[in-house]
A = this chain, B = another copy of it.
């Protein structure tokens, strides 16, 4: 998606440890019309997979998932992050949060994920793949069908991309980043 590349080049900042900050339109400040364009792009790429529900994880995934759900006319469920005890009525998966440098749980109320569901996972970033792995684990535990994974920004040099590829899950990354070495953004 050319426009996303341009936004990343003009507004993104590379921080140490291969962190790409896109706080001005995706992760802290949100650019609603642009996020709607991203939703349209995801919808176009996944209509044929016929999902009936979108799954994402709070907080940064919500905006993209919501816009995609709006275009596709299907509900969105966002997994919640928790520490400590998980109530019995929640599916859960343990993931390692690199931002927080600790293990956390992501959880989804069993009511909102059933074996009849055809799930499209949407998220802002694919890096180590921890969040996506956790979401897929929850989809599998629920006995739902995973029809695809839509990622806005894939850091192709980290483990998540090859993990998803090894699973054979249909994945669409709107932008793929080959390298952030020496603060320079290089697309694949």
Q: A76 and B30: CB pair below 8 A?
A: yes
Give the bracket for the number of chain A residues in contact with chain B: 20 to 34
Between A28, A58, A69, the greatest number of chain B beta carbons within 10 A of the residue's beta carbon is seen for: A28
A32 touches B76 (CB 8 A): yes
In the complex the two chains form, is B77's CB within 8 Å of A36's CB? no
Q: Complex formed: what's the CA distance from A58 to B30 in Å?
A: 12
**What number of copies of this chain does the assembly contain?**
2
Residue among A33, A66, A69, A111 having the largest count of chain B Cβ atoms under 10 Å: A66
Interface residues of A in 50-85 (CB under 8 A from B): 58-59, 62-63, 65-67, 69-70, 73-78, 80
A153 to chain B, nearest CB (A): 18
Contact residue among B29, B78, B108, B109 (Cβ-Cβ distance under 8 Å from A76):
B29
Q: In whole angstroms, how far apart are the Cα atoms of A112 and B28 in the complex?
A: 9
A83 to chain B: closest residue by CB: B100
What 0/1 readout, one digit per residue, does chain A (83-117) give for beta carbons within 8 Å of chain B? 00000000000000000000000001101100000
A31 at interface, CB cutoff 8 A: yes
Closest 7 CB pairs of A and B: A32-B70, A58-B59, A32-B69, A59-B59, A30-B76, A62-B62, A29-B112
